[in-house]
Chains A and B, each alone.
Chain A
Amino acid sequence: MSPIDPRLQEALDGERDPGDLPVDLREAYVRLISAAEMLTVTPRLSVASRVMAEIRRNPAPAQSEGPARRLIRWLGRPRAVTVRLRPVWTLALAAGLATVLLLQWPNGGPTPGVAQGIANFVGHFPGARSVEVVGSFNDWSRGTLHLSDENHDGIWHAAAVLPAGQHEYMFVVDGERWVPDPLADRYVDDGFGAGQQNALIIVRAVTAQP
């Protein structure tokens, strides 16, 4: 360790004006003063101190707590979960998930269950802002089955998984105009005495077809 220059020592002791020091000693003086100021700042808590502070903030449950309450407390407390996966396992997991999805949805669509089939609803409503289907399959409730016109060509379409059997329905265009499906295979009088007709669709269970 090299001895400190006496002139620098005097400046540090306040016995000499730092401005009188040569340039190199003046730079050394500034570095030493800065270091001394850093040492006077209150040191941050050590890791151990911070851990202990956290423990004091979240005290352990009282011994009188039952196991069910401790379980609920444990389940409700956020925890960091670290999953370490090799890239090869990540790829295998993704491939497995894709296989399951493809097996479940052949042709890219969902598979109806037993005694269910797929109903396609198509209508030509150029300029319409919205088209939806209401019928006996949704308790004639609005807002459950909307058609879409993705190409903006006026041809609206939706498909739904429905129970096999007959279903009466109508289109509701722009939220107010009730229209029987102009492309339906069947119609039936709606029974309210004004000669209005509902469209009628017969959904076949997919298992019923060869």
Chain B
Amino acid sequence: MSWMPVLALALVASPSGLVAQTGGPSTRLPGRVPAAALPAIDSIIAAAVAESLPTEPLVQKALEGSAKNIPADRLVNGVRRGLLQLRQARAILTRAQPGQPPPEGHIAAVAAALARGLSGPIVERLLTVAPDEAPGPALHAAADLIAHHFDPDSAADLLVEAHSKGLHGVRLLDVALAADHELQRPGGRTPSEALAHVRSILPNVPTPRRP
């Protein structure tokens, strides 16, 4: 594999890698977002700030829609939908972990899981399992399993058990991957058989190779 593209990127990227620009929403949106949509989007972002919700997902959604030339009304609706998901995410986090204000990163991770189609109860259940950990990997693992047609509750059961056996963070993604591999194995396994097999080998699920 040629590393020249990587090298070039490493050189042009910021010290923390190729990352989105930092800076307030007010400095990043003008010039990128259509003028017709800008006041409404500014208003949505101002609401997020007032509610102590993370604004970066909203800024990214506005930039994404602008880059895709989404019409202004749909662009604003897309950003507004993002705000609603953030609110829902914070409500779920507050129920799952009462007594502490949820970190912005956790709110954004839960909102992303909701956008992937995870239901509130499944999210809440996974949050209670590991309240002190970043929720993103467990939620994505559950969303991966459900996207491959595993039963949502059975998928959550498997992840809860994997966590109890010492698998944390991105290792939970390996659990979902192992179940998917079992499902696709020649000869065929049913989803419940695949989950049962992975449960039987916990915590020894394979680790993917590095890219």
Contacts and interface: CB of A to CB of B under 8 A. Distances in A.
B196 interface: no
Interface in B1-31: 1-7, 9-10, 12-13, 15-21, 28
A41 interface: no
Nearest to B169: A208
Interface string A103-136: 0010011101100111110000000000000101
B170 A161 contact: no
Question: How many residues of B sit at the interface, in one of the four size bands?
Answer: 35 or more
A206 B210 CA distance: 8
Contact of A140 (B6, B60, B81, B137): B60
B170 A118 contact: no
A110 B7 CA distance: 6
A10 interface: no
B173 A161 contact: no
A159 interface: yes
Contacts, number: 136
A150 B3 CA distance: 12
A113 B19 CA distance: 13
B74 A202 contact: no
Contact of B211 (A116, A119, A146): A119
Interface residues of A, number: 54
Interface string A87-114: 0000000000000000001001110110
A204 interface: yes
B190 interface: no
Contacts of A140: 60, 63-64, 66-68
A185 B170 CA distance: 15
B137 to A, nearest CB: 8
B184 to A, nearest CB: 13
B17 A186 contact: no
Interface string B93-109: 00000000000000000
Contacts of B10: 110, 161
Contacts of A112: 17
Given A112-B17, A193-B77, A159 B140 contact: no
Contacts of A83: none
B115 A189 contact: yes
A12 interface: no
A185 B4 CA distance: 25
A209 B1 CA distance: 21
Interface string B54-67: 00000011011111
A35 to B, nearest CB: 65
Interface of B: 1-7, 9-10, 12-13, 15-21, 28, 32, 60-61, 63-68, 70, 74-75, 77-78, 81-82, 112, 115-116, 136-137, 140, 143-144, 147, 169-170, 173, 207, 210-211
Given A142-B67, A148-B5, A186-B140, 9 more contacts: A117-B211, A137-B19, A137-B20, A145-B9, A158-B6, A159-B6, A160-B13, A166-B140, A192-B77
Q: Sorted from nearest, which 7 A-B pairs have the closest CB atoms?
A: A140-B67, A109-B3, A110-B10, A192-B78, A159-B6, A139-B20, A191-B78
